[in-house]
Amino acid sequence: MRPPARAQRRCARHAAVGAPRRAGNGGRFRRHRALAARLSRRGHRSPAAAAQRRSALCRAADRRRGVRRGGVQSDGGEHRADDLRACAARGISGGRSAAGRARGQHRRLRAVKTAWYVDFFARDYARLYSFEPERSAREAAFVRRALELRPGARVLDLCCGRGRHLRELQAVGIDLHLDSLRGLPAACAEMRFLPLRSGALDAVVSLFSSFGYLESDGEDVRVLREIARVLRPGGGVLLDLLNREHALAGFVPSVQRVEEDGTLVVEQRRFDALTGRLTTSFVLVSPSGERIDSAGHSLRLYTLTELARMLAAAGLRLTRVYGGFEGEDYALESVRMIAVARVT
């Protein structure tokens, strides 16, 4: 069956003219011409169908080659599937579907590029928070006990920061920033869209209140569902959170500390009872009294009841709650709320 004359003219015009010629666009022009020829051979019932089919084929070709519209190479090149070679080495990433999820990361990362937490964790986090190696080793030892991890377990450190737990846990890390993770088994990805195959992991850990920075409770539930997806049946997740009850009982709106170099850090806190979010701002003042910089973050503080409901909605069953990394039981006065849950 021959396509309608109008569709033939469109295909012929597209083959003759193609996309506007730009630097580096020759390959895409040739692909469009080949696609137009394929459309002419196949035939279509209507001009609209021909146009839709042509657009679909062009988009599919672009996705396979990592090219966005206009023939310009995607700015997410550093987030391609080969970023997950560390995961693949441990048998975590897998199959064409996982590779497709990895290739889609650059689009999602562009979408969150303007979120406040992107700049905070890239620029300010390392200056405001520091940890001794002994603390990291002690926390990793607790995680192994709490999750009953066996040697060779496939573990993901979600939002791994500077990767201070990766070696102790023999884990793979995922974070938005990889500058401080060179030489470590880590990949750049968005926590709501993990580029890992379903059921690939034995355990997922989220430490030092890295859960709760997203814009809404619904987004946090989405993270939990993604965690449940990548866990094997019976796999476990450990969430280390700030205990809301303790934080509010001893709430101090302003604190100050002096760094080793003499810099004064003024920390202002504000809690919104309606949204349950703790907003913290930092002002850095030099020894001479000059204001150096400012930063801040907003963290959702969950009650244990809220967290249990969210875990259940994501297909995870809460099995144990600790009050600290010494293994003590959770209490209202506990500084931390460390929840352990399993895939139901």
Per-residue pLDDT of the chain (344 residues; tens, 9 = 90+): 555 555 455 545 444 444 444 444 555 556 556 655 555 555 544 445 555 555 565 555 545 444 333 322 223 333 333 445 555 555 566 544 444 554 554 455 454 444 655 665 556 556 666 667 798 999 999 999 999 999 999 999 999 988 889 999 999 999 987 777 888 999 988 899 999 999 999 999 999 999 998 989 999 999 999 999 999 999 999 999 999 999 999 999 999 988 888 889 888 999 999 999 999 888 888 888 888 777 778 999 999 999 999 999 999 999 999 999 999 999 999 999 999 999 98
Encoded amino acid at 202, one letter: D
**Rounded to an integer, what distance in angstroms lies between the CA atom of residue 181 and that of residue 167?**
12
Total number of domains constituting the chain = 2
User: Do residues 15 and 88 share a domain?
Assistant: no
User: Do residues 145 and 208 share a domain?
Assistant: yes
So what's the pLDDT on residue 21? 44
User: Do residues 227 and 309 share a domain?
Assistant: yes
Let me know the angle formed at the C-alpha of 153 by 148 and 157, rounded to the nearest 5 degrees: 90
Q: Is 287 exposed, middle or buried (0-12, 13-18, 19+ CB in 10 A)?
A: exposed
Residues 6+ apart with CB under 8 A from 193: 101, 104, 105, 108, 226
Contact in structure between 39 and 6 (CB atoms under 8 Å): no
**Rounded to an integer, what distance in angstroms lies between the CA atom of residue 151 and that of residue 80?**
30
User: Do residues 59 and 142 share a domain?
Assistant: no
Whole-model pTM over 0.85: no
Contact in structure between 342 and 317 (CB atoms under 8 Å): yes
Helix and strand numbers, DSSP H then E, in the chain: 13, 11
**Rounded to an integer, what distance in angstroms lies between the CA atom of residue 139 and that of residue 122?**
23
User: Do residues 170 and 314 share a domain?
Assistant: yes
**Rounded to an integer, what distance in angstroms lies between the CA atom of residue 187 and that of residue 198?**
17
Residue 293 lies in a domain: no
User: Do residues 88 and 224 share a domain?
Assistant: yes
User: Do residues 13 and 52 share a domain?
Assistant: yes
Q: Is 30 exposed, middle or buried (0-12, 13-18, 19+ CB in 10 A)?
A: exposed
| Closest to 340 in 3D by CA, of 154, 153, 193, 149 | 149
So what's the pLDDT on residue 257? 85
So what's the pLDDT on residue 80? 35
User: Do residues 13 and 86 share a domain?
Assistant: no
Residue 200 lies in a domain: yes
Contact in structure between 203 and 156 (CB atoms under 8 Å): yes
Contact in structure between 102 and 81 (CB atoms under 8 Å): yes
Residue 157: CA count within 13 A, CB half-sphere: 28
Residue 45 lies in a domain: yes
**Rounded to an integer, what distance in angstroms lies between the CA atom of residue 176 and that of residue 190?**
7
Residue 292 lies in a domain: no
Q: Is 152 exposed, middle or buried (0-12, 13-18, 19+ CB in 10 A)?
A: exposed
Residue 285 lies in a domain: no
So what's the pLDDT on residue 203? 98
Report the chain's C-alpha Rg in angstroms. 25
Last residue of a domain, one of 65, 94, 111: 65
User: Do residues 98 and 166 share a domain?
Assistant: yes
User: Do residues 144 and 40 share a domain?
Assistant: no
CATH at 109 = 3.40.50.150
So what's the pLDDT on residue 261? 85
Residue 250 lies in a domain: no
Q: First-to-last CA distance in the chain? A: 54
Last residue of a domain, one of 37, 65, 93: 65
Contact in structure between 316 and 342 (CB atoms under 8 Å): yes
| Structural domain range at position 180 | 81-245+301-343
**Rounded to an integer, what distance in angstroms lies between the CA atom of residue 204 and that of residue 207?**
10
User: Do residues 216 and 101 share a domain?
Assistant: yes
So what's the pLDDT on residue 335? 96
Residue 305 lies in a domain: yes
User: Do residues 314 and 239 share a domain?
Assistant: yes
| Closest to 297 in 3D by CA, of 213, 187, 238 | 213
Residue 32 lies in a domain: yes
Structure tokens at 200: 């690939």
